A and B are shown apart, each in its own frame.
Chain A
Amino acid sequence: MSQDVSFGRLESIGRHQIMSGWLSSKHPLRHMDLSLFTAALVAAGIGCVAIYSATRPSLLALGRDPNFYLKRQLAFLALAMVIFVISMLFDYRQMKGLAPLVYLAGIGLLVLVLSPVGHTTQGAQRWITLGILQIQPSEIMKLVLIIALSALWADKGANSGLGRVVLAVGIAAIPAGLIYLQPDLGTVLVLVFLAFSIVLVAGAKLRWLALLVALGAGVFVLVLHLGLLHDYQIKRLTAFLDQSSKNTAAYNLQQSRTAVASGGLTGKGLFRGTQTNLDYVPENHTDFIFTVVGEETGFAGSILLIGLLSFLVWRALRIAMLSKDQFGSRLAAGVAAMLAFQLFINVGMTIGIVPVVGIPLPFVSYGGSSLLTSFCAVGILMNIHMRRFI
């Protein structure tokens, strides 16, 4: 059947209502959340500037092209735009059916990373090299898990039982375990948080949620006691607990904190961060990118960036509330949790309130996989938002 609505016809085909006439009031194109996209793009822009500032002096000192990392990040950004557009084109509800396939593919990639094909850097096996490109499957896995977990619960039918929760734990545990083996503790933490957030929004009873929290704490203690943490991970934990200790991890922490703090209220000025420019903060174009912002733009700039990313989280939660179905809510909540926890952990570790675990700051850190994943996530959010009337 069809009904006339202004500027077009609304037709029902099966369970779906399809727009005809692209200027009708319910057409997805008319319900984009432009502020969401703008905020993400501005954050990415800040990231490019920060990456340029962080890497230019060292590259110059080495006699290399000062724009090396900037150029690559801009290329990734261009690719991310493409991914973004693609992720808006289809109806997100179609992912529900594809979820198991997507999940298996993700697991497959993770296994590939751990296999001899995987590429090791600095003692961690996190990448697969395809030609000149390196992809980090653990980044992709975050989105994959969001989709898989969100798809676990149906919109109608048996939902809040223990069974689903157990299944959710199982589905989350496999990639978490594989990623843990790389080792990449940071991403494991993010997966755990976003899984918990999705289970929460899915409607699990409070007692199961409490059980999950207890389970998590138990696993953490077990890991510490069984010595399942690597040496460097223990060093990082010690450095966090006692920030005056004498190991390299503590030194890096002090340098990072000093860099951010020395920015003061308004920062030392763009491209004038002495700590970051002179290599006193390691990984300052990737995990510790925030120190560049902190040192060069000070409290003002730091709050601005955090505000921008928080804005994205808020928009994601809003989209979760506005979503037509609960699948969309869970997807959006998962994305919100992913962004929020990554923001908190990444910035927190540069300023010393979270132990150092290597995770990137979404949109800002240098790295293709992270940038692509983040914009894909924003694309999915946009997708949900656009189709909330159909």
Chain B
Amino acid sequence: MNIMSQDRVHLRLAVLGMVFLSLVVALVLRLWFLQVLSVDSFRKLADQNFVRVVPKLAARGRILDRNGQVLVDNRQSLVVTVDRSSVATTDSKNKLHLTPKGTATMSNLAQLLQVPVATLLDKLQTTQVGPVTPAPVATDVTKDQVVYLEEHQDEFPGVSYVQEPLRDYPNGSFAAHALGTVGIYPTATDKNSGARYNGYSPGTVIGRSGIEYAYEQYLHGTDGFIKYQVDASGNVRGILGTQEPKPGDDVVTTIDKNIQTLAEASLVDGLSKARTIYDKVSNRDYVAPAGGVVVMDPNNGQVIAMASSPTYDPTQFAVGITSAQYSAEFQNNPAQPLIDRVTQAQYPPGSTFKVVTSAAAMTEGIANPNGGFACPSQVTLYNQLFKNWQASDSGTISLQQALIQSCDTVFYNFGQTFWQRFRAGQGEQLQTFARDFGLGSPTGIEIPGEQPGRVPDDAWLQKEHKANPVAFPYNIWLPGYTILMAIGQGDLLATPLQLADAYAAIANNGTLYQPELGMKVMDVSQTVTTVTPKITRHLPVNPQALSVIQSGLKGVAVQQPLGTAVGAFIGFPFDKLSVAAKTGTADINGKQPYAWFASYAPADHPQYVVVVMLEQAGHGGETAAPIARRILEGLFNLPATNIAPAARTD
């Protein structure tokens, strides 16, 4: 057929029509899939496209003392930042190497800001912000400097500025360890903190230690935001919504600014005085490099003051510390100022532990509360000689006198009995009492990093022997361990906070509180949330025993001539204020003695517990007691006396 019949044409047209129909069906099916079945996921994608959320950072709450005085505040600061990728390359060890252009930029910047180039370069290496965020290199720059930067952008590629809220410490290094330091979120460790920083925007100021860390959730407000509508080029076309940030709550601490100031000054003064004392045993002056002071309210566990020396100024961390600075001042500083001697330093408590031994001995029936106890100058137990600190024989004395004179031999005997009971399978009773008084586990104070101390026992010895047979060659709990523990020596360790807590329990007739630094939290609308006192336990000590101990402690500072703290309290107005106290001196291998002093006043209705601990500063009555006296004078408005080293006693 040469000519196509109509039918064949129609057939081919029909075929063509079928092809077109199938194309249209394909379109419809695909549209159905996209617009009906998958619409939700694509709607979300579409929204993400054009909405940009910019956070409005919330102001951080302030920290106030118990009377409302501002201890930590915020202020605005102009910070110059440098985008590191614009001026340098990073090698495999994450060290920056400046490009030639970068070198020129940094030297220009150094000239403008009038700081040495090396300082700026050091700040560039900061780890306080993530690697992509511009590094802050100079804080508190002047407005003129910023204006110059903006007007000469071509001289400073990669340099910009931000206005940042900075943590402000109007009192410098005041209560540094208690208040804590801040840093910028996020660093690598922050990311591993679980849900702690959920919803935080990069660049937020967060607490890294102390109250700043412990009360982070209150101090950090709620960030607000601005939702921008943005086109494909990133240009802002409009605002879709805003939410104002809610400032963080202010935290009122239990600290009293005046008492804290007094405690810090007294501690520093006392340490410097200690360094003037010559120790003939070690043939040099006391090193006295560090110490801690705690003032606590025994009726609720509130910490009125906690001082640690050496200290530091938290402002350094707030404005951004360089790694070189950090290495020099903190990491490689033998004084280790970041360590809080109140909660993070643990030492044998020495004779201050005798109150625990007394309580244990009386409650467990080893000692008769009204009995008499031999106090020779030495005893031989298990073929070993144990000496008293006094060379003379004191005859038979009461338990109160044993505390006043701090007679070691009385307590050695108690120790021997405790060991015999342990041997007879009646348990480690002395250790149990130590733990009841709170030793060997953290007190539970809110701030992080608290050390637990140690109450050594048979199980502990076994573990250490297995782990370290050279240092602990015997896995037998020898009598000497318990005997020495009875006077607070050996492997027994306590922090000054634990000791203060224990003495508070004695002062308040047997309630061991959980120490607290936070008193209340106040939000912007002045709504207050109070932190309630928490009781850890009631001491399983019978009241008669407690009363014997209390009356013993009352004589330590006042009973002439044998009270171990009498030398430090000469001329003290005991008619106005009765003071209960205990001295202590810890012996540590290879070091000069550590001085302890624990006290509370007034002795009958105690309002304050004062504990002082000095590293390598001699005897408790000699160097620690004078510091406590000065603080007690300040606490009760008594005339101030100079801190002066006193007689060397136990």
Contact = CB atoms under 8 A, between A and B. Distances in A.
B43 interface: yes
Interface stretch (B19-27, B163-171, B203-211, B518-526): B19-27
B13 A265 contact: no
B233 A326 contact: no
Given A264-B36, A274-B46, A302 B31 contact: yes
B468 interface: no
A146 interface: no
B276 to A, nearest CB: 72
B25 to A, nearest CB: 10
Contact of B35 (A299, A317, A344): A299
Interface string A239-275: 0000000000000001101111111110000000011
Contacts of A201: 9, 12-13, 16
A317 B17 contact: yes
Contact of B27 (A156, A298, A336, A347): A347
Interface in A185-239: 197, 200-203
B2 A157 contact: yes
Interface in A273-306: 274-275, 278-280, 282, 294, 298-299, 302-303, 306
A261 B4 contact: no
A326 to B, nearest CB: 6
Given A155-B3, A299-B31, A317-B17, A258 B24 contact: no
A321 B16 contact: no
Contacts of B13: 201, 317, 320-321, 329, 333
Contacts of B32: 299
A353 interface: yes
A344 B4 CA distance: 29
Contacts of B35: 260-261, 263-265, 294, 298-299, 302
A314 interface: yes
A272 B49 CA distance: 15
Contact of B229 (A260, A278, A302, A333): A278
A262 B43 contact: yes
A344 B237 contact: no
A336 B20 contact: yes
A12 interface: no
A62 B122 CA distance: 45
A249 B12 CA distance: 38
B38 interface: yes
A200 B43 contact: no
B538 interface: no
Contacts of A282: 232
B281 interface: no
B533 to A, nearest CB: 57
B229 to A, nearest CB: 7
B324 interface: no
A265 B12 contact: no
A351 interface: yes
A336 B16 contact: yes
B45 A258 contact: yes
Contacts of A343: 23-24, 27
A260 B35 CA distance: 7
A351 B31 contact: yes
A280 B17 contact: no
A16 to B, nearest CB: 20
A8 B109 CA distance: 97
Contacts of A314: 17
Contact of A280 (B16, B20, B42, B231): B231
Nearest to A313: B20
Given A201-B16, A337-B16, A344 B26 contact: yes
A202 B32 CA distance: 36
Contacts of B232: 255, 278-280, 282
B381 interface: no
B115 to A, nearest CB: 43
A306 B27 CA distance: 9
A280 B27 contact: no
Contact of B34 (A57, A255, A337, A351): A351
B230 interface: yes
Contact of B2 (A158, A299, A348): A158
Q: Give the residue among B1, B15, B24, B235 with the most A Cβ atoms within 10 A.
A: B24
A193 to B, nearest CB: 10
Contacts of B237: 57, 61, 278
A280 B235 CA distance: 12
Contacts of A202: 4
A303 B31 CA distance: 8
B36 A265 contact: yes
Contacts of B10: 321
Given A278-B50, A317-B13, A317-B17, A156 B3 contact: yes
26 contacts: A58-B231, A200-B15, A201-B9, A203-B8, A255-B49, A258-B45, A260-B34, A261-B35, A262-B46, A263-B39, A264-B36, A264-B43, A265-B35, A274-B229, A278-B230, A299-B31, A299-B35, A303-B28, A310-B24, A321-B13, A336-B16, A336-B20, A347-B27, A351-B31, A351-B34, A353-B27
Interface of A: 57-58, 61, 155-160, 197, 200-203, 254-255, 257-265, 274-275, 278-280, 282, 294, 298-299, 302-303, 306, 310, 313-314, 317, 320-321, 326, 329, 333, 336-337, 340-341, 343-344, 347-348, 351-353
Given A278-B237, A299-B36, A306-B31, 14 more contacts: A200-B16, A201-B13, A257-B34, A264-B35, A264-B39, A265-B35, A275-B49, A278-B230, A282-B232, A302-B35, A313-B20, A320-B9, A329-B13, A347-B27
